[in-house]
A = this chain, B = another copy of it.
């Protein structure tokens, strides 16, 4: 059997309280007993039970991470960053892929509570705001990541989607493009909406006409992007450039262009968003608005841990600035 605190205490000829104290570095313990106990602990290969400790009201040192889909590169890259920072601080993370379904979100949240996780990082879409509010009302630390619900009092880490949209647009506009297609996620996805808003705003500033038919909405996957890009490119006056709201959609756009025999960037420029591994492996590699995923992961963990320690002052919303990474999917228009 695994050694317990009792075994250690017996071996050391002290009480479990004493052992507990050296374990937690609390109270005054003489150096000798301390050393002795420590020695015995590792002789017995004693590992304190997180479970038992948690039952007395202490932390479980476990965080829940809700994402739409862990196999989506954007989220798996973020997950890695979160895991790393968590590990630094002594936390494990449970992954939960929700497919953006409220029903799954609720199931997972209930589960995480039963397992008494110390905090929950939410990077998934939630339609019903109440789910979130209910969670918050229970006093469980929650941080929103890459999702925004400005009206809810919750710590949040997001990228400035609006600015990202602006960056994408001005890049294209500076290259001379005026007829530009946009492929966004479904309208209810706030981040996508913001990106589009920034993009359109900037177009206006440059005096580029916004054509409603040039704005398409769809799900977030490669295939969806391809379908919409095909629609855009087969129109009478097809755009000379397309802004895809994430890397997957951009890949779909790339495929559509290829299918139609259009060269990128000669015949079509493409700007995307995220800068996941996908943006780097396509041909041509994608010009994209990069989200600082590593930094976001780190930040979000720090925030939640601070909240746990009660160090957290007021709720805060951290908006990170995205950065345009110019690769080879965009070029000046030749007319």
Instruction: Give the complex CA separation of A280 and B251 in angstroms.
Output: 10
The answer on a CB contact under 8 Å between B96 and A83 is: yes
Looking at A111-119, A154-162, A168-176, A191-199, the stretch in contact with chain B turns out to be: A111-119
> Nearest Cβ in chain B — how far from A265, in angstroms?
13
Contact across chains for A50 and B114 when beta carbons are under 8 A apart: yes
Q: Is the CB of A92 within 8 A of B97?
A: no
Residue A51 at the B interface, CB < 8 A? yes
Task: Establish whether residues A47 and B110, one from each chain, have CB atoms under 8 Å apart when the complex forms.
Answer: yes
Please tell me if the beta carbons of B94 and A277 are within 8 angstroms of each other in the complex: no
The copy count of this chain in the complex is 2
Q: Quick check: A115 and B92 within 8 Å, CB to CB? A: yes
Contact with B along A65-86 (1 / 0, CB 8 A): 0000111110011011001100
A95 at the interface (CB under 8 A from B): yes
A278 at the interface (CB under 8 A from B): yes
Could you tell me if B114 and A48 are in contact, using CB atoms closer than 8 angstroms?
Answer: yes
A60 in the interface (beta carbon within 8 A) = yes
**Residue of A61, A71, A73, A115 with highest tally of chain B CB at under 10 A:** A71
Partner of A80, one of B61, B69, B112: B69
Q: Is the CB of B280 within 8 A of A281?
A: no
> A258 near B: Cβ within 8 Å?
yes
- Which residues from B are CB-within-8-Å of A52? 55
Selected from B2, B62, B80, B107, the residue in CB contact (under 8 A) with A70 is B80
**Cα distance, A138 to B138, chains bound together (Å):** 38
Minimum CB–CB distance from A179 to chain B (whole Å) comes to: 24
Q: Which residues of the other chain, B, contact A60 by a CB distance below 8 angstroms?
A: 51, 115
Q: Which one of A51, A60, A112 has the highest number of Cβ atoms from chain B below 10 Å of its Cβ?
A: A51
The reply to whether the CB of A54 lies closer than 8 angstroms to some CB of chain B is yes
Distance in angstroms between the alpha carbons of A311 and B69 in the assembled complex: 32
Residue of B nearest to A251 (CB): B281
Which residue of B55, B70, B96 contacts A92 across the interface (Cβ within 8 Å)?
A: B96
Check: A49 CB closer than 8 A to any chain B CB.
yes
Q: Does A93 count as interface, using CB distance less than 8 angstroms?
A: yes
Q: Tell me whether A40 is interfacial, beta carbon within 8 Å.
A: no
Q: Taking the complex as formed, is A11 at the interface, i.e. its CB lies under 8 A from any CB of chain B? A: no
Interface residues in A1-43 (C-beta closer than 8 Å to B): 2
Q: Would you call A103 an interface residue if the criterion is a C-beta within 8 Å of the partner chain's C-beta atoms?
A: no
Of A92, A113, A258, the most chain B CB neighbours within 10 A belong to A92
Given A51-B60, A71-B77, A114-B48, A283 and B282 contact (CB-CB distance below 8 Å): yes
B49, B116, B278: which contacts A281 (Cβ < 8 A)? B278
Say whether B71 contacts A115, CB under 8 Å.
no
Shortest distance between the CB of A145 and any CB in chain B (Å): 15
Partner pick for A79 among B71, B84, B277, CB 8 A cutoff: B71
Across the interface, do A83 and B54 meet the contact criterion of CB distance under 8 Å? no
Min CB–CB distance A325 → chain B (angstroms): 16
Cβ-defined partner of A258 (8 Å) among B94, B97, B283: B283
Cα of A47 to Cα of B54 in the assembled complex, Å: 16
By a CB distance below 8 angstroms, the chain B residues around A116 are 49-51
* 11 contacting pairs across A/B (C-beta < 8 A): A47-B110, A49-B55, A51-B54, A51-B60, A51-B115, A62-B94, A62-B115, A83-B96, A84-B97, A92-B112, A222-B277
